[in-house]
A = this chain, B = another copy of it.
Amino acid sequence: MDEVELLIIGAGSGNSIPTPQLSALSIAIVDDAPWFGGTCLNVGCIPTKMFVHVADVARSARDAERLGLRNVHIDVDWPAIRDRVFGRIDAIAMSGEEYRRSGEPNVSLVRESVRFTAPREVETDSGRRIRAERVVIAAGSRPRAHPAVPPSPRVLTSDEIMHIDALPARLAIVGGGVVAVEFAAMFEGLGVEVVQIARSTLLRDLDPELQGRFMAAAAASWEVRSETNVVASTETADGVRLELSDGSAVSAELVLVAIGREPNTDRLGTEDVGFDHHPDGRLVVDRYQRVLSGGEATAGVFALGDIDAAHQLKHVANHEARVVQANLLAGPDAPEVKLVANDLAPVPSAVFSAPQVAWFGETLATAEQCGFDAFEVLHEYAWTAWGWALEDRDSCCKLVVEALTGRLLGAHIIGPDAPVLLQPLVLAASNGMSVRGLARSQYWPHPAASEIVENALLKAEDYLLGAVT
């Protein structure tokens, strides 16, 4: 039995836990992935955005006929694109692993799968047992399997598809969530014929106005089969044939299954040792990121990231890692009063599809369901000079505001630069600022895209003042 003071399972955001402040602890980091550094760096946010940007550049030029650019021709050198991305990422992953392997005397690296044998004890595949004073479960999530579309050399997940040798002529994407729409836009932008099959609509949890706009934009760029499911999958001579629940069929050279991600709790056997789980398999944690067992905090056991978080987002995982880190420093038996609570809100989300979407908080409907007296305002990109520059017709910013206080309950942007345009609204909402006076408390450089946000704020303020009803 190996004994350590801190066991970290998962080298994604978990890998940020060991800092100089924890150098007095003996630490073991466990990760069984073929890569090092977690989903975001290796098969998630970062490489996808690196591909997406290339696709966006190509698409922007191809779509610029309306701006007066003609006869646009662009060849896509897929191996060069892929190798640039992974040349950079793999080097970072490898040097990260090398550092963890030999960089600090108090940290050891275990490259095996583990299962819990007790709340603070695991056994590796090779039979090694590790007992720890404190455990951080940061083992993340993995692509969910589709029962009717089993993996094959032509049926890939998001872990695999970025590594393909050549672009397919035609790609079927099964799924309608964030990962699915990002890959759809990326491959479409790189010239692949994309057909996307979604059980309901695309990005179904979006604000309804944005959801409708996203669907329309997607359907104008690639083939969308919504409200249908895949019931069977057959390999053919040159691809895969998917039978759909609506009776039709789709054939493609390659299939990406992207129907969501599930937490890796089952692989760790976390149910066997009495930890509490949400219905979807995530660990239940309290506001200090302590894993619960029977509704009570499990001494010395924390979780962070996709394995517990309601938002499967890297910035959430990183923030949870900071909370866990602070609470580890408080010692294994710290009273709650010494612990740091995770109360950062709201949580922004960004989708790097075509179009981009970014949002946080409530829609008008969910705000009202929560009992708020709320209203919403919408400002089109097309009503600003930047929208004229873009020749934009489909992009907008919507704000959901509490009528009593002027507090931003939600913000929803669809269109170019949505993720960065959202930030001043995140800042305001996070710091309890009312929309009252906010736009006029600062300059907004003309004619930058941020004027879209400025004008939405002004409209919200007018509404508050009763000037608009």
Contact = CB atoms under 8 A, between A and B. Distances in A.
Contacts of A440: 322, 344
Given A54-B64, A58-B61, A443-B316, A73 B71 contact: yes
Interface stretch (A30-38, A112-120, A289-297, A382-390): A382-390
Chain A interface main SS type:
helix
Contact of A57 (B69, B322, B428): B69
A200 interface: no
A103 interface: no
A443 B361 CA distance: 12
Interface string A336-356: 000000001011111000000
B447 A49 contact: yes
Given A54-B68, A58-B64, A445-B358, A450 B430 contact: no
A443 B420 contact: no
A102 interface: no
Contacts of A346: 443
Nearest to A316: B443
Interface residues of A, number: 78
A427 interface: yes
A442 interface: yes
A49 B389 contact: yes
A101 interface: no
A463 interface: no
A174 to B, nearest CB: 25
Given A61-B57, A442-B427, A449-B420, A68 B81 contact: yes
| 9 closest residue pairs by CB, A with B | A68-B81, A61-B61, A419-B448, A430-B442, A68-B80, A350-B445, A70-B75, A53-B389, A314-B446
